[in-house]
Amino acid sequence: MILQYLDFEKPIIDLENRLEQLRRVDDGTDKNLREEIAKLDKKIGKIRKEVFSNLTRWQITQLARHPNRPYMLDYVNLCFKTFLEIHGDRAFRDDPPVVSGFAELEGERVLIIGQQKGRNTTEKIRRNFGMANPEGYRKALRVMKLAEKFRLPVITFIDTPGAFPGIGAEERGQSEAIARNLLEMARLKTPILVVVIGEGGSGGALALGVGDEILMMEYAIYSVISPEGCASILWRDTARAETAAEMMKITAVDLKKFGVVDRIIPEPLGGAHRDHKAAADVLKIAMVESLSSLRGLPIPQLLDRRYAKYRDIGLLKRKAGSTG
């Protein structure tokens, strides 16, 4: 994988490259060089901490879309054993942006469903840049029904710019496919754990996102419309995407406050793309914890809890003046 970097990462990467050069010439004899290395190492740590503790929402958006960011299948490989992919919606075709299959998480069987973006050009095109067609959502629903039938929990991974806006997608009922998943996920008689790993793009993300517990990676985003889309509609200028990202408050920290997500999964310093394994290890522990607590609930209680969770989401005011 070719390492790519964002503008605000550049100063850090430059120093890291210099440090690596110094380390290469270091044979352990030059005391000054050793000191230089130690100093530089410390400096890098400091700068990294500074940059990453003051990220703007737009910078987080860029991290969420980082080309080196772990994708669904990276987490699948790192967190689960024995992944067996299953395909197709049994009606039209298999939709590659949505991946589903059997997996084992610490010895427990789970069905996993997620969105996969694709790393290189060929793969990106094959995965349609992570944008599902209706058959992708219908495949997901079929797999959820399978999970319900065999009393297995579902884990979904969200990472999409949005549902695909195309002629075929509209002809085959993109809105119905998304709507159907929302309704069926609300009443699916098995635990559903949702993980927002990268981009949570609108209805196309939510169509895999109704569940009992919502985890969100620290530098993921989740929004009603992409910042670019919002900017083009409200400002008629996509260059205002940065402002739109700030306005819409789309980060994990924002959404935890609004009750949209339950738990933020911390990423390694510098972001999950700097250390896939470390990011996956933390996520794995969280998934195991969440799933074991959900498994303990009887199904009627689980469904009531899920219903109450969505019934309560939102802020408004009643005439009496109370906000709730």
Partner 1 sequence: MAIRLFRRKEEGEKRIKIPEGMWIKCDACLEIIYKPEVERNLNVCPKCNYHFRIPAMERIRSATDEGTFQEFGDDLESVDMLTFTDTKKYTDRLKESKKKTGRKEAVITGTAKINGIDIVLSVLDFEFLGGSMGCVVGEKVAASAEVARELARPLLIFSASGGARMQEGTLSLMQMAKTSAALARLSDDHLPFISVLTDPTTGGVAASFAMLGDIIISEPGALIGFAGPRVIEQTIKQKLPEGFQRAEFLLEHGMIDMIVERTRLKPTLTQILRFLARTSPQGS
Stretch that binds partner 1, among 15-23, 80-88, 158-166, 291-299 (CB under 8 A): 158-166
The answer to whether 13 contacts partner 1 (rule: CB under 8 A) is no
The answer to whether 171 contacts partner 1 (rule: CB under 8 A) is yes
Could you tell me if 161 and 116 are in contact, meaning their C-beta atoms sit under 8 angstroms apart? Answer: no
Of 134 and 270, CB closest to partner 1: 134
Of 221 and 294, CB closest to partner 1: 221
296/104 Cα distance (integer angstroms): 18
Q: How far is CA 157 from CA 26, 236, 289, in A?
A: 44, 32, 17
DSSP calls for 78-93: HH-EEEEEE---SSS-
Among 165, 285, 299, 305, binds partner 1 (CB under 8 A): 165
Of 80 and 137, CB closest to partner 1: 137
Residues near partner 1 (CB under 8 A), total: 57
DSSP calls for 218-232: TT-EEESS-HHHHHH
Q: Which of 5, 33, 46, 40 is nearest to 19 (CA)?
A: 40
Of 179 and 297, CB closest to partner 1: 179
Could you tell me if 89 and 135 are in contact, meaning their C-beta atoms sit under 8 angstroms apart? Answer: yes
Of 71 and 164, CB closest to partner 1: 164
Q: Tell me the two tokens of residue 79.
A: 């967190």
Interface positions, 185-244, toward partner 1 (CB under 8 A) = 186-187, 202-203, 206-207, 209-210, 222-225, 229-230, 233-235
In whole angstroms, the minimum distance from the beta carbon of 279 to partner 1 comes to 23
In whole angstroms, the minimum distance from the beta carbon of 120 to partner 1 comes to 21
**CA dihedral for 69, 74, 146, 130, sign (positive or negative):** positive
The answer to whether 175 contacts partner 1 (rule: CB under 8 A) is yes
Helix (H) / strand (E) containing 276: helix 276-295
Could you tell me if 58 and 249 are in contact, meaning their C-beta atoms sit under 8 angstroms apart? Answer: no
Q: Tell me the two tokens of residue 187.
A: 């009443």
The answer to whether 174 contacts partner 1 (rule: CB under 8 A) is yes
The answer to whether 310 contacts partner 1 (rule: CB under 8 A) is yes
The answer to whether 43 contacts partner 1 (rule: CB under 8 A) is no
Residues at the interface with partner 1 (CB under 8 A):
163-167, 169-176, 178-180, 182-184, 186-187, 202-203, 206-207, 209-210, 222-225, 229-230, 233-235, 247-250, 254-255, 258, 260, 306-307, 310-311, 313-320, 323
